[in-house]
Amino acid sequence: MSVSGMRRRATVGLAALAATAFTAVAVTPDQAEAHSKPVDVQLLAINDFHGNLEPPTGSSGTIDGQTAGGAEYLASHLKAMRAAAQQQGKGTVTVAAGDLIGASPLLSAAFHDEPTIEEMNLAGLEFASVGNHEFDEGAKELLRMQRGGCHPVDGCADGTPFEGAKFKYLSANAFKTSTGLPLMQPFGIKIVKGVPIGFIGMTLEGTPNIVSQQGVAGLRFTDEADTANKYAKILKLLGVKSIVVLLHEGGVQNGGGINDCTGFSGPIVDIANRMDPAIDVIVSGHTHAAYNCNINGKLVTSASSFGRLVTDINLKIDPRTRDVVSASANNVVVTRDVAKDPASTELITRYKTALGPVADRIVGETTEAITKTQENLYQTGVDANGKPTYQTGESPLGNVIADAQLAATDNEQNAVAAFMNPGGVRADVDAGPVTYAEAFTVQPFANNLVTLDLTGAQLYCMLEQQFTVARVLYASSTVHYVVDVNGTTAPAGTPCAGTRVVRGSLTINGTPVTDTATYRVTVNNFLAGGGDGFSVLTGGTNAVTGQIDLDAFTAYLTEKSPVSAPALDRIQTTAEVPAA
């Protein structure tokens, strides 16, 4: 097909979508005039559920000083909150801002996250944006999640048909490169109490940098604000003036509570500032943070992660103008002191039975809880409130995993060092026996280990690149180096130009690393492909692909049990970090 043909096809597709939407939002004058007061609408929002059907454990299972989460409790809370709103005469819509699936515990991941999609159906979800982790198994698998059908290789492993999502997945800025058309429906519209509300789905533009290249093959992602503005204009032309963006991108606070916006920063600030004033609410995610902000006149919210919070958003809409006149929000903890939702319990029981005894197999033991929590490495500056900001560094569990990956490749591949990406460590490990299911929750991606040759110069460049991409890798115990707190961070595109890592300080097995020498280094295939922005690793040579990272982790736990949290002494700084 020619370029002009592609453009015509894209235009026709958008026109057809607009025509369908226009029919859906037709509101008679009598309906509008029936309301003499603002229409009250409740939005219930979640994000970053990541397949946590069972109550998450460790730090992942607490928030705001309370134990929280679990699909049975989340469904009960949502149903109760909707019922209360309806009693008050409010209309209600339940939405999500991405990463419902992917990086999931074994109970969901073993069945390609079909259980989570079915649970979201039970919970009454209506619209959800597509997050980066929805692409973990590729675009075709995402489309199967929407449309249903058994897995092309594993079939319907629980013995029942998979009917797909009853809710609508939305992504306005993920496009097929072959046709220029959106992969998913860009927006959805629901008439609530006679007033149309538009929901635009948005995937973070940087998805190709944090998902395996196989997962995003044949796709391109466009700027979040520019794309949202485009569809906001379309919605306005269709008579939709109340507009909500479900955006899988976010920010973080500096010390605030679950309903605060203290020292707020992150990519969403610029995105929200550039969005059309017609956009009223941004339900966000990705950072696993909780916040309740007002940015440039827009309500911006996030409900942390793993189903521990629900954001209860109240909109007041003028029925004559169809526009939002006020918006407020409250993050509510999903406590475990309510009755479990029976349908959710039945679903979890059914899949646990199908999973069988493998989940409960003991793979090792720990002497203490080993957390994924990152410790402060060095001060980077101060925020808008004058409080110090830090670049996070080592993690006890991250160090254990790096050691496990080195142990899996030191003899067979002559590896002398290993590095692990922080985003690949998903949960803590509690003290005592460790089950296969717990280990899987820590490392759910099934990445292969890759051992490759890197020069000393490339290693230094990789360590400098950590600070450019703001992700400090977890190093094996054979690696030590020093960070200069007064050094400079290399700008994007020139990762080797930074001066954060003190030259001459990098050692492997106690021997200084030299630029011209070659070292066998183990990473996972995600990093080896340049994931998380570590482009220097694509220049490695003599790469050999090895076992799955989870297998290396469980083998290490078995061999080294009982395992204790290692010291965080692999990265030093030229100055002591002050207490936060």
Instruction: Give tens-digit pLDDT for 65-116.
Output: 999 999 999 999 999 999 999 999 999 999 999 999 999 999 999 999 999 9
Q: Which of 26-40, 251-265, 313-327, 400-414 has the lowest mean pLDDT?
A: 26-40
Using the structure block, give the residue that is written with the tokens 């903890």.
Answer: 333
Is the distance from CB of 278 to CB of 267 less than 8 angstroms? no
Average pLDDT on 528-538 reads 95
Question: How far is Cα 277 from Cα 446, in angstroms, rounded to an integer?
Answer: 43
Could you give the percent of the chain with pLDDT greater than 90? 85
Least Cα distance to 66 among 332, 429, 302 occurs for 332
Query: Is the dihedral angle over the CA atoms 171, 172, 173, 174 positive or is it negative?
Result: positive
Instruction: Report the pLDDT value the prediction gives residue 383, as an integer from 0 to 100.
Output: 57
Q: What type of residue is 339?
A: A
Could you give the percent of the chain with pLDDT greater than 70? 91
Least Cα distance to 557 among 441, 418, 404 occurs for 404
**What are the chain's domains?**
39-347 (3.60.21.10), 360-573 (3.90.780.10)
Residue 381 pLDDT > 70, yes or no?
A: no
DSSP 429: B
Residue 575 pLDDT class (50, 70, 90 cuts): low
Average pLDDT on 289-294 reads 98
The order of strands in the sheet holding 309-317 is 168-170, 127-129, 91-96, 39-46, 309-317, 324-333
Phi first, then psi: what are they for 492, rounded to 5°? -55, 140
Residue 578 pLDDT > 50, yes or no?
A: no
Q: Which of 14-23, 76-85, 520-529, 545-554 has the lowest mean pLDDT?
A: 14-23
Q: Quick one: angle between helices 342-355 and 114-122, nearest 10?
A: 170
Residue 579 pLDDT > 50, yes or no?
A: no
Residues 566, 569, 570: CA angle, nearest 5 degrees? 100
Residue 392 pLDDT > 90, yes or no?
A: no
Is the distance from CB of 562 to CB of 365 less than 8 angstroms? yes
Q: Which of 6-20, 356-370, 446-460, 518-532 has the lowest mean pLDDT?
A: 6-20
Question: How far is Cα 169 from Cα 98, in angstroms, rounded to an integer?
Answer: 9
Average pLDDT on 333-340 reads 98
Q: Give the mean pLDDT of the chain.
A: 92
Question: How far is Cα 303 from Cα 290, in angstroms, rounded to an integer?
Answer: 5
Instruction: Report the pLDDT value the prediction gives residue 388, as an integer from 0 to 100.
Output: 60
Q: How are beta strands 571-573 and 448-455 bridged, if at all?
A: unpaired
* CA 379 vs CA 350, 390, 423, 484, 491: distances in Å: 49, 4, 21, 10, 18
DSSP 566: P
Residue 440, strand partner residues:
none
Instruction: Report the pLDDT value the prediction gives residue 486, as an integer from 0 to 100.
Output: 87
Instruction: Give tens-digit pLDDT for 160-180.
Output: 999 999 999 999 999 999 999
Instruction: Report the pLDDT value the prediction gives residue 376, as an integer from 0 to 100.
Output: 76
Question: How far is Cα 431 from Cα 369, in angstroms, rounded to an integer?
Answer: 4
Average pLDDT on 382-400 reads 77
Question: How far is Cα 410 from Cα 426, in angstroms, rounded to an integer?
Answer: 25
Instruction: Give tens-digit pLDDT for 132-166.
Output: 999 999 999 999 999 999 999 999 988 999 999 99
Residues 6+ apart with CB under 8 A from 526: 212, 421, 424, 445, 447, 532
Instruction: Report the pLDDT value the prediction gives residue 22, as an integer from 0 to 100.
Output: 37
Average pLDDT on 332-359 reads 97
**pLDDT higher for 495 or 218?**
218
Q: How are beta strands 298-303 and 279-283 bridged, if at all?
A: parallel
Instruction: Give tens-digit pLDDT for 33-65.
Output: 555 699 999 999 999 999 999 999 989 999 999
| Six token digits for residue 172 | 């306005």
Least Cα distance to 524 among 363, 406, 439 occurs for 406
